[in-house]
Amino acid sequence: MIEVDGLTVIYGRGGAAVPAVAGLAMEVDTYELVAVVGPSGCGKTTLLFALDGLLSPTAGRIRIHGEEVRGVRRDVALILQDAGLLPWKTVRANAELALRIQGRKETATKVLADLGLAGFEKRFPSELSEGMKRRVGIARALALQPRVMLMDEPTANLDSITREHIQNLILGLWWEMGFTGVLVTHDIEEAVFLGKRVLVLSARPARVVEVLDNPGMGEPGYRGTPEFAAQVAHLRQILGGNGP
């Protein structure tokens, strides 16, 4: 369970201070997958980095499983935008990077195979397609067998077929592994497809302005239903835009 209370993050000091997040409150139940949407540059990534313990809040509290977050936690994994692969490491070394840093001996062999990357272990990222790179990024997080999964726009800049493929993959993994997830996205369809609830953030500094319950989420077929279309239209209306 993730509890965020009065989270405020301010970059810089004095006259140059930029508030990125201001008094944000949210809760994510254990095994719940929550999508967070909001205008570009509204502080979504800042929120995610704070949840991951990468930056300390200026004010407010973040608790994961009842413990206050004071740094990077081993049961929390972060999937970075554009995967964040290290170009000098092979697919296997990238997938096992977080394990090795934590001094763990496990391998990522099974995870890589599950994600359809068997046979590519010795390749370098520059030899992979964009979709494969994202899967390696996901493999790196999964290899840790985390209880909490934080995802920063995992399908940004992908073509629509690959995007749906990765979205289905994330949904399947959520069913299979049962993690608590926070997915940050600016894609309205993605938020409705992957969020049991969708939190809508304000423009910078970010606050939660609306919460959309989305009980129908959970099946790959959800995309084709009228309910999905209605939720997407509703969310679009909340965000006040005419297009995604």
Partner 1 sequence: MRDSLKMVLRYLVAMALITAVWAGVSWLLEVVRGRQILPTPWDTAIAAGETLPVLAAAFGTSALRFLIALSLAFLLGLPLGLAVGFEPKLDRYLSPLIYLLYPTPPVALLLFLYLAFGLGEVVRLVVVVMALFFQVVVAAQGAAKYIVPSHITAVRSAGATQWQIYRHVVLPATLPSVLTAARVSVGLGITMLYIAETKLGVLLGPGAGLGRFIEYYTFRGDISLAGVVGLALLGLLFYVVLELLERVLCRWKFVGARGGT
In the complex, the residues that contact partner 1 under the rule CB under 8 A are 49, 52, 54, 71-72, 74, 77-78, 80-82, 84-89, 97-98, 101-102, 123-127, 140, 144
CA distance 23 to 208: 9
| Cα–Cα dist 217/215, whole Å | 6
* Cβ nearer to partner 1, comparing 27 with 82: 82
Q: Smaller CB distance to partner 1: residue 134 or 197?
A: 134
Of 77 and 115, which CB lies nearer to partner 1 in the complex structure?
A: 77
Q: How far is the CB of 71 from partner 1 (least distance, A)?
A: 8
Q: How far apart are CB 7 and partner 1 at their closest, in Å?
A: 18
Q: From the CB of 223, what's the least distance to partner 1, in Å? A: 30
- Angle, CA of 16, 19 and 25, to the nearest 5°: 165
CB atoms within 10 A of CB 82: 15
Q: DSSP secondary-structure letter at 117?
A: -
Question: What's 8's DSSP letter?
Answer: E
Looking at the Cβ atoms of 15 and 103, the one nearer to partner 1 is 103
- Give the shortest CB-103-to-partner 1 separation in angstroms: 10
Minimum distance from residue 58 beta carbon to partner 1 (Å): 19
| Residue number, 17 or 72, with CB nearest to partner 1 | 72
The least CB distance from residue 49 to partner 1, in Å, is 8
Closer to partner 1 by Cβ: residue 95 or 217 = 95
Q: Give the CA-trace dihedral at 151, 53, 209, 189, to 10 degrees.
A: 0
Quick one: tokens of 158?
């992908």
**Terminal C-alpha separation, the chain:** 30
Picking from 87, 76, 47, 195, the residue whose alpha carbon sits closest to that of residue 141 is 76
User: 77 phi and psi, to 5 degrees?
Assistant: -120, 145
What is the 8-class DSSP label of residue 164? Answer: H
